[in-house]
Amino acid sequence: MPKISEEKKSARRTQILDAAWTCFQRGGIQGTTMDDIIRQSGLSAGAVYSYFKNKDDLIVSAVTTSMTGLAEVLAPLLAAEKLLPPAQLLEAITKAISGFTARDGFDLKRIAILGWGEAQRNAQVSTALRSSYAVFREHLTQAARTWKQRGEIDSSADPADVAKTMLAAALGFVAQAAILGEVEPAMLKRGLTALRASATAKSSAT
């Protein structure tokens, strides 16, 4: 038997990471034991440990993989060309998150929450999330500049502020959906639009 092929190896890693997320969703990250993951993956303890150095390594990989997957889904939405206006973009982003979510029975929203918590005690996870979100925020800042150019937001606006507000809305959607529920992308679009539209009355009144 020759060495296992790279593909097989990658498939095994995915299999283990999938098992890990299934368990994490069930019982939280720290609440999941290696044995839970081992049993869920259908592999042996030794096998799992040949793919991941230890539990923390597995956790970091799982979180990083999720972030990477999400980034891929969001990237096209942030491309300058077909950039949507703020409320529509917010809807598109939250839809993408919910959609990614639906895949494989995983709920990315709950997963994200777990990752945020884990980042509080695991420096590597913290760094992974940090850089992902930093990139995302940077893209949003760029988007804000575009909106400004297009006159879709106030000409005196600081793109960084707008980006932070948009990011807050997106992350807040995740938190709200995971904890309270009863929030849908369309609601945020309408909510943000209402807030924006109101400005008309306000500003025209002023």
Partner DNA sequence: GATGAATGAGTCTTCATTCAT
Partner DNA sequence: AATGAATGAAGACTCATTCAT
Query: What is the binding site for DNA (CB under 7 A)?
Result: 1-4, 8, 12, 32-35, 38, 43-47, 49-50, 54-56
Alpha carbon distance 65, 44 (integer Å): 22
- For residue 58, the tally of other CB atoms under 10 A from its CB is 23
Of 14-22, 49-57, 69-77, 173-181, the window that binds a copy of itself (rule: CB under 8 A) is 173-181
> Within positions 139 to 158, which residues make up the interface with a copy of itself, using CB under 8 A?
147, 151-158
The span from the CA of 174 to the CA of 65, in Å, is: 18
Region of 5-13, 14-22, 60-68, 165-173 interacting with a copy of itself (CB under 8 A): 165-173
Longest dimension (CA), the chain: 79
What radius of gyration, in Å, describes the C-alpha atoms of the chain? Answer: 20
Show the DSSP H helices in the chain as ranges.
Answer: 6-27, 34-41, 45-51, 55-78, 86-102, 108-119, 123-150, 159-179, 185-205
Residue 162, token pair as written in the block = 């707008």
Looking at residues 72 to 131 of the shown chain, list those that interact with a copy of itself (rule: CB under 8 A).
85-86, 110, 113-114, 116-122, 126, 129-130
**Toward DNA, which CB reaches closer, 12 or 190?**
12
CB under 8 A: which stretch of 12-20, 59-67, 71-79, 180-188 binds a copy of itself? 180-188
**Residue 197's binding partner out of DNA, a copy of itself, none, with CB under 5 to 8 Å set by partner kind:** a copy of itself
Rounded to a whole number of angstroms, the minimum distance from the CB of residue 114 to DNA is 15
